[in-house]
Amino acid sequence: MESAESEIKVSHPSLNEDQTNNSANESLRVSVLSEALPYIQRFAGRRVVIKYGGAAMAHQTLQEAVFRDIALLASVGVQPVVVHGGGPEINQWLQKLGITPEFRNGLRVTNAETMDVVQMVLVGRINKQIVNGINTLGAQAVGLSGIDGGLIKARPWGNGSHGLVGEVASVNPDVLEPLLSKGYVPVISSVAATANGLSHNINADTVAGELAASLEAEKLILLTDTPGILKDKEDPSTLIKILRLSEARQLIDKGIVNGGMTPKTKCCIRALAQGVAAAHIIDGRVPHALLLEVFTNSGIGTMVVGKS
């Protein structure tokens, strides 16, 4: 007669392949959460300014991943602030309205008619879509533009040759303090007014950098359509994971950082020079890139830091 121990062994078959895989997946999730814990503890109560745009804004699956990441950041005590542009959708609406977009030196030339469309799209459409997307995940987002409460004051860019294109003259972070202290997520469109009340369109990267500095943010994160800063822009394997402030300046001077990456890198440099602890350029085409950069040891993009 078989022993009771043998009977017990026979009555409990071994795990099948699906069960084994499920167990491995659950272990991986637990491992990820465990790795994230010290980062969650470190960044709780700290401000993180996120510039949202590019492919992450254009594709629904990526949109939902970004909204979920922002909601999760808020739920664990981080204070995210979202800044967005919306160039592609602006172009679509200009086309619908029979207005031909004009660019000069990479900047949109913005007359009064175009500015009306810019404001309609950024403030009236995209901003509310982002707010709604975050709110449906249980966070509490509030939509603003730079005009609201005098959050951002604009001045004409350069000599005014691009019309109603502006740059940041000043930021009033006091507008955001009550929202952040109550756990709300500010979502800010990059439209601001000059001292005489004339609306201007400002580059969203620039707005994000200046907001990060004024809020004394722990991090500035720019979502882009590239893996980060590359030594060879044709080779993703040349990604620079960590970059010192002085090295970032050298890469610009040597022309290694060029094209559209130049203003983003300069934005990071300026934010760090004004006291932001770290600036990140990450690939918004990767689902949950925000969480991968903030809450994992390896990160996913380029982190620019002021110190060695």
Determine the Cα angle at 203 with ends 202 and 206, to 5°: 105
What pLDDT is recorded for position 56? Answer: 85
pLDDT exceeds 80 at position 307: no
pLDDT exceeds 80 at position 28: no
Q: Partners of 52 in the beta sheet?
A: 84
What does the pLDDT look like over 125-180, one tens digit per residue? 999 999 999 999 999 999 999 999 999 999 998 888 889 999 999 999 999 999 99
Confidence category of residue 18, pLDDT binned at 50, 70, 90: low
Q: In 3D, which of 150, 155, 89 has the Cα closest to residue 119?
A: 89
What pLDDT is recorded for position 7? Answer: 43
> What are the distances in angstroms from CA 143 to CA 81, 82, 146?
11, 9, 10
What does the pLDDT look like over 185-240, one tens digit per residue? 999 999 999 999 999 999 999 999 999 999 999 999 999 998 999 998 889 899 99
pLDDT exceeds 90 at position 59: no
In 173-291, which ranges are E strands? 185-189, 191-193, 199-202, 219-224, 242-244, 278-283
CATH of domain 46-305: 3.40.1160.10
What does the pLDDT look like over 61-70, one tens digit per residue? 999 999 999 9
What does the pLDDT look like over 89-128, one tens digit per residue? 998 999 999 998 887 766 778 999 999 999 999 999 999 9
Please indicate, yes or no, whether the overall pTM of this predicted structure exceeds 0.85. Answer: yes
